[in-house]
Structure 1
Amino acid sequence: MPEVNDAKNTDSGKPKPEEDPALAQFGIYAESAPVAERAAPVATTLPLELRPGDRVVFIGNTLFDRAADHGHFEAMLQLAHPDLNLTVRTLAWSADEVDLQPRPDNFASLKQHLTHEKADVIFAAYGFNESFAGVERLPEFKARLTTFLIDLKTSAFNGKSGPRVVLVSPIGNENIAGVPAADLNNERLAAYAKAMAEVAEAEQVGYANVFGGTKAAMDPEATTLTINGVHLTGEGYRVFAEELFRQTFGESAPPENEELRAVVVDKNRQYFRRYRPLNTFYYTGGRNKDYGYLDFLPAMRNFDLMVANRDARIWEIARGKTFGGRPVDDSNLPPLDAVIESRGANEWLDPGAELAAFKVDPRFEVNLFASEEEFPEIACPIQMRWDAKGRLWVSCSTTYPHVYPGREPDDKIVILEDTDWDGRADKSTVWAEGLHIPLSFELTRDGVYVSDEPHFALVRDTDGDGKADTKEKVLTGFGTEDSHHALHDFAWTPEGDLIFRESIFHNSQVETPYGPIRAKNSAWFLFRPATRRLISFGNYPNTNPWGVTFDRWGFHVASHPIFADAFHALNPPYPEQHPAAGNLPAYSGVCGHEFVDFPMWPEETRGGFVKVRYKPTNRVELHQWIEKDDHFEEAYQTDLLFSTNLSFIPVDLRHGPRGAMYVCDWYNPVKGHMQYSLRDPRRDRKSGRIWRIVPKGATLQDPPKIDGATAAELVRNLARPEYRYRYWTKRELRDRHDPAEVEKALDQWLAEISPSKTGGVRHDQIEALWAFRNIGATRPALLGELLECEDHLARAAATRMLCWWHADLPNDGVDALRARVNDENGIVRLEAAIAASHIGTPAALEALLDVLDHPMGDHLAYAVRSALGSAGLAAHWKNDPAFLTAHPKLAEFSRSWKSGDQIKILNAKATGDDAEFDLRADLKTVEISCVPERLLFSVTKIEARAGQPVKLTLLNPDATQHNLTIVKPGALEEVGMAGNEMAKDPAGLSKGFIPESDKILFHTRLLDPQTGEILRFEAPGEPGVYPYLCTFPGHWIVMKGELIVSE
């Protein structure tokens, strides 16, 4: 095997490209972009008159954001005014309100962008999201809208005069299966549309009331113009465009020209990538200094040129010219500037050599299931899912980490088949193409839900030919500040919801039929397909954790945090977050978990789980899953597979249908998003491997029948010990069978098993309970029985169901909640605390407060604190001194939060020699923090005299482990590289990633998040510059400073 070195932080020897000052003009930043000067307002009257060269901008919410995908109204504008050479741009953003417009860090404001676009005419669509505040808040809304319009119409965005403004009302909503949007929203929307008319008249702006016309078009029962009751289909947008045109210009729109509309849509697509690119944390935000200059500004220049080229094509078509579908000529685009390649990359090995580099637990054997050699279409695999036919679906992204001018995303979902069951794939089918960085996906009826940044999409095969043919943007507005922090970890919960999450840096705001959902700096989401309802929970500071599964009893297992059920409280009021994980086990660097429950696996591994880790070491680990009083926790056992070749990047794992374990390998010599240029040409876009792990000598089993099984056959699979069989079965019941048929089968199965109260019957009943919710049915009596049963884990699982079925129980489930809040078991009490946040009523709050009469471990205390801070419950007690006076235990618990939020100094109490050290007269004290999410020390220079006593306090408020290591002059790189090499040592973590080196003078231990340590030492006797660094692999290149010792 060739020698393998960790080259991630070595110097490649390639010089840094020279900077081009002319590129600076293409960056648009909040800190520097100009804002329009004030101007006298211009009255806008309808019918609107447009002028030659007018620059028209659409702003507002999802109504205009999604309109750009269809281009109907914009095409009508151009066709009706062929000689005006109108320039049209869309700055709308999902769920925007007139004065609530969350944006990425340092992203220019709406007014700055309007100034950049030199807006002459503005169409502003608002009112939908604001309306969910209710009709009682109409006076407040009118005041907010008035302030917004005054500011808008008195800003000289074009440098000369105020803009002409057309305010656009919300559209009508319609009832569709599962979503009674018209019944829920139309009466309220009509009131808001009327209020908008009043404000528009008072402020002398144009007003296009499209509510009535669109509602009338939706009224016929056979008509469906929306995908979810509130967001329009393509045909719906045609109807909306015609109504908006009539309202704005007082006449019917001209006949459509499909050639022109296609160019409009293409232009909007290219402009979207310029206005709202992925990876904005690297373009405008906190990491734009490293690579943002060359990663983005040349691309912005070229996107501007591409958009201008399409403007010219649009004008020509509007004047009657046709191009026969020929693509727009983009030959005027200059090549993108060269990027920085100063860091080294790891060695690339072919699959055979990579296999030879694995160190495998002697109880197991590993073989290659599939690779780019036989199936080049699986290059850059990210996630895997098995279907009921025993086929492995794989999402792949060669677009990652970014799409650049002249390229269209063409990421794939590929189906691999092992038709002869020999452990090697022998058939591959590209099922879907044209996706945009599908970080995760899950199978559903006739298709998949998939991350399609910044969208949550449904890709389907509607004609049954085995290939996807439609893609629906189900939800949009999710953050993309970092393209590998975007929506991931898709999984079906045992109860039948689709769970997924996003990570740090992100700002998400998503319109739904039930109101906007917003989250800042990471959150979990649950999506209910039948009702199109989205909720968000677990919004707390973390990093970029991956990997999610559920154990036998439905407890949510992740990486940050490990026992994720404690984090399931609904979110606090936006933009607040729940508290950090503190000392609860939580970390990133892991990409997947899978419980071991197949009988051919070694007995000592069953009941535990396997996880894949990609940093700081690259390995597949075995863990135990151990019950404690108020949670479960993992216990590392050993490495099932360890690789010294750091191009091995395991990103997912799954049990296959016969019991083997499959590992998805994003094989790439460039491991890192922030560590390399996004355009680094060494990023591998051809490799991809799937590895298969089996116990030595094991006989793999035949799976039960799932595909094609009857409902009666399927429900009996729910008694199987293997989680994946139960998982695939519930999906099959939900997607392929009539709910009434499934209900009947479940009731029959329950009747057969319920008389016996021994063995695994309680778990079978819980599985049935989950299956009922999967198909939209309820069973309050069964829930009541399980809430009071003798098995505490069954009670905990049943208590979790109060989140969804409390309304079906007496007294809104509060009596049942109170009983479980007072349960003898801590895990049950934890689930009750979470359920209280979902019920959210004053009665639920009163019931929850009983938990303060019981002992609380850290996990339960976190769940209670988060539940009390959830938006629903917090409204009933926060900022209410009288309530706290009446509930002294809550007041005391609340006060304890503040002290609990402080970082715990591991050796804070000084005794003996340390106490004497701290009393020395010339003591120098230094406090250094690890800057969260920046890989930086807050202090990068310390000055001390030779021999001076130094008391250095290192605080780690970050979500990642760090240390501080002081080394001899000139030893920074040597010690840093030695730390990197420890990533290849399975014991590196236990050694704190402190290398064995005589160049190290002093060091802290490896500090967990929310901890600190005091390091006491005398400054070296020799004057000089003594570097200090964090030796956690990969950190030292940026996380460093200097101790300057003088005489």
Structure 2
Amino acid sequence: MEQRVPSWLACAVVCLVVAGQGPRSGVAGGPERKSPASPLDPVAALAEFQLNPKFRIEVAAAEPQVIDPVAVRFDENGRMWVVEMGDYPNGPAKGGRPRSRVRWLEDTDADGRYETSRVFADGLLFATGIQPWDKGVLVTVAGELIYLVDSDGDGVADKRETWYSGFKQENPQLRANHPTFALDNRIYVANGLRGGVVGTRRAVWAGVSNPVAISSRDFRFDPRSGVCEAVNGNGQFGLTFDDLGRRFVCSNRNPCRHVVLGGEYLASNPHLAVSEVMQDVVTPGADSRIHPISKIWVTSNLHEGQFTAACGVTAYRGAFLGEDVQGNIFTCDPTGNLVHRETVVPEGVSLKGKPGRKGVEFLASRDEWFRPVNLEVGPDGALYIVDMYRAVVEHPQWVPEELKNRPDNYAGNDRGRIYRIVPADHATGDRNETVPGLGQLESARLVEELRSANGWRRDTAARLIYQRQDMRAIPPLQELAGD
């Protein structure tokens, strides 16, 4: 199996060969100038983007409302939940307090800007992902998946329960991430390429499942019963599903991989040996192509113009951005300061991608501080971009000795942005629709939401139906299944 570079936020080893090269433009005849040496404020940063002209980029949230974001989810009432990894890159000093946090934000005036911000939980170690569930949120942290609840309604978590532990944490970057509720009513977790032996720590689930080894496999569990298992395929930092429930993951050099063969199918014929259970949808490795417009550092001169830090793979499942974007695959490359887009078509039992525009990225920035690490489709159907906004994302463990203690390793740890992509002709500052309070809907009404063109609404309605176990939902579900 190919040896992958161990980092999801950055490439592994910075090579000085590339450092002397001049800035590049992603478009022939485009502007050629040096990227800003200093950080830009959120408004000024907008001028540095080069975006597909069919779309416009807006600031949804920025420091101080959000700092060091690495993951985003929206709950049933439209709140934006953000995971902030203040621990990056080296974690807290010996005896120091962990700096990762979970924060929620609200857009109370529906202008598209999330101006209300509250820290929900802090003192977390290397938080990487989040999934709303029932009365709280599930969060992947160092070695564990925990459940945080605000029981008194003050907006701050006052209960913490460890649901699962045993995820490996030997490497600062390669940790379990992206807990994601799926079509089968299970929550999937990317293993971070480092595995572990994972078991429940909830007393009420004792004996439900034995601990499972997840080396080279991801993890899934039933949030109601606690039954858990390892599943074929493994992702580094990124996990997404398309409308048909197909699962996709990514790693540094593999911007999108489809998990084709599930373990349940292979188990039916133990005599069948297969060499691979995943298929690259987007061209990987040395044959991959990206088109940054900033001056960048890569793992070696041989990696210039290639994916070296692919992360946050996301299938767009909405109607807001147009029919030609539905089902497209988006992947971040923070070292390239860009977001890549591919259209996909069937190829055998899997899919094959093609760049959305030849020789030009969907979104790229001349600002070297722009560090897109994750993506999310929101309640409004917009594509949200999680920008950690750091001067340096290369981890000191993987750079030459002379760069390990560079003074700017933490530069930008007081900044962070969440952008959203909307159609170019969409009214500035307006949402395309009022964000629905799905949490207040009766179960029968939630079943109607399963017909929505917006994947977020379908997923959220399905989650609420499964949470509630309301028998009144059965007749409309039967009717829907018969249509």
| TM-score where L is the length of structure 1 | 0.36
Deviation at 1:672, TM superposition (A): 1.4
Question: Counterpart in 1 of 2:145?
Answer: 456
Runs of 5+ consecutive residues of structure 2 not aligned to the other structure: 1-12, 18-35, 201-206, 268-272, 285-307
The equivalent of 1:746 in structure 2 is: 474
Which of 361, 366, 388 is the equivalent residue of 2:57?
366
Instruction: Please state whether the residue corresponding to 1:730 is helix, strand or coil.
Output: helix
Instruction: Please give the secondary structure, in 2, of the residue aligned with 1:707.
Output: helix
Q: Tell me whether 1:529 sits opposite 2:223 in the alignment.
A: yes
The 5 A counterparts of 1:13-24 are none
Q: Secondary structure at the match of 2:375?
A: strand
- 2:243 touches 2:317 (CA, 8 Å); kept in 1? no
Cα distance in 1 for residues equivalent to 2:347 and 2:366: 35
Distance 2:99 2:377 in 1: 28
CA contact (8 A) 2:67 2:416 kept: yes
Cross-structure match for 2:112: 423
Distance change in 2, residues 1:473/1:716 (3 Å): same
- Superposition pairs of residues 869-948 of structure 1, within 5 angstroms: none
Residue 453 of structure 1, CA deviation:
0.6
Q: Secondary structure at the match of 2:161?
A: strand
> Does the alignment pair 1:353 with 2:44?
yes
CA distance in 1, matches of 2:277, 2:407: 38
Contact 2:452 2:458 in 1 (8 A): yes
Choose from 687, 695, 705 the match for 2:415: 687
Superposed displacement of residue 675, structure 1? 3.5
SS for the counterpart of 2:465 is helix
Deviation, 1:678, is 7.1
680 and 480 in structure 1: CA distance in 2 versus 1, 3 angstrom threshold: farther
The partner residue of 2:424 within 682, 696, 711 is 696
Aligned to 2:479, the other structure's residue is in SS state: helix
Point out the structure with the larger strand share. Answer: 2
Provide the C-alpha distance between the structure 2 equivalents of 1:718 and 1:432, rounded to a whole number of angstroms.
32
| 5+ long unaligned stretches in structure 1 | 1-6, 12-344, 755-760, 762-1047
1:943-973 Cα deviation digits (max 9, x unpaired): xxxxxxxxxxxxxxxxxxxxxxxxxxxxxxx
**Who is 1:660 aligned against?**
382
CA shift for structure 1 position 593: 3.7
Residue 516 to residue 8, structure 1, CA distance change in 2 (3 Å): closer
- Is 2:311 the partner of 1:591? yes
Selected match of 2:85 from 397, 421, 436: 397
Q: Which residue is equivalent to 2:238?
A: 547
Distance 1:527 1:10, change over 3 A: same
Supply the distance in 1 between the matched residues of 2:476 and 2:114 (Cα, whole angstroms): 40
Q: How does 1:719-730 map to 2 (within 5 A)?
A: 719-730=451-462
Counterpart code for 2:416? G
SS at match of 2:250: coil
Shift in Å at residue 578 of structure 1? Answer: 7.5
Specify the alignment match of 1:487 in structure 2.
Answer: 176
Shift of 1:497: 0.8
Amino acid at match of 1:450: V
Secondary structure at 2:214 match in 1: strand
TM-score for the superposition, normalised by structure 2: 0.75
Please tell me whether the aligned partners of residues 195 and 217 of structure 2 are also in contact (alpha carbons under 8 angstroms): no
Pairwise CA distance, 1:416: 1.2
Matching of residue 608 in structure 1 with residue 296 in structure 2: no
Q: Looking at CA atoms only, which structure, 1 or 2, has the larger radius of gyration? A: 1
AA aligned to 2:223 is P
Residue pair 1:439, 1:484 contacting (<8 A) in 2 also: no
Using the TM superposition, give the Cα deviation of residue 488 of structure 1 relative to its aligned residue in structure 2, in angstroms: 0.7
Matches within 5 A, 1:584-983: 584-585=280-281, 587=284, 589-615=309-335, 617-638=336-357, 639-673=361-395, 674-676=397-399, 681-682=407-408, 683-684=410-411, 685-698=413-426, 700-735=432-467, 737=468, 739=469, 741=470, 743-751=471-479, 754=482, 761=483
CA contact (8 A) 1:488 1:502 kept: yes
Shift of the 592–507 alpha-carbon distance from structure 1 to 2, 3 Å rule, reads closer
Structure 2 CA distance for aligned equivalents of residues 578 and 678 of structure 1: 41
Evaluate the alpha carbon distance shift between residue 746 and residue 716 of structure 1 in structure 2; reply closer, same or farther with a 3 A threshold: farther
Report the equivalent of 1:518: 213
**How has the CA–CA distance of structure 1 residues 491 and 409 changed in structure 2, closer, same or farther, with 3 Å as cutoff?**
same
In structure 1, distance between residues paired with 2:418 and 2:466: 29
Q: Partner letter of residue 664 of structure 1?
A: V
What residue in structure 2 maps to residue 1040 of structure 1? none
2:196 aligned residue? 508
Answer whether contact 1:509 1:518 (CA < 8 A) is retained. Answer: yes
CA distance in 2, matches of 1:551, 1:692: 20
What SS class does the counterpart of residue 601 from structure 1 fall into?
Answer: coil
Q: 1:709 to 1:428 in 2, by over 3 A?
A: same
Q: Is the 8 A contact 2:60 2:114 kept in 1?
A: yes
Contact map agreement 2:317 2:456 (CA 8 A) in 1: no
CA distance in 1, matches of 2:108, 2:354: 37
Contact 2:78/2:437 (8 A) holds in 1:
no
Partner of 2:170: helix, strand, or coil? coil
SS at match of 2:452: coil
Task: Confirm or deny: 8 A CA contact 1:704 1:717 kept in the other structure.
Answer: no
The CA deviation at 1:439 is: 0.6
For the residue of structure 1 that corresponds to 2:441, the secondary structure is coil
CA RMSD in angstroms comes to 2.9
Give the deviation of 1:347 after TM superposition.
Answer: 4.9
Report 1 or 2 for greater relative contact order, CA contacts < 8 Å, sequence distance ≥ 6. Answer: 2
Residue 524 of structure 1 deviates from its aligned partner by 0.3
- Give the whole-Å Cα distance in 2 for the aligned partners of 1:485 and 1:661: 25
CA distance in structure 2 between the partners assigned to 1:417 and 1:728 by the alignment: 18
Shift of 1:385: 0.4
1:66-85 Cα distance to aligned partner (Å, 9 max, x none): xxxxxxxxxxxxxxxxxxxx
Matches within 5 A, 1:287-306: none
- The alignment-based identity, stated in percent, is 25
SS in 1 for 2:356: strand
Counterpart amino acid of residue 729 in structure 1: A
Corresponding residue SS for 1:464: coil
The Cα of 1:349 is off from its aligned counterpart by: 3.0
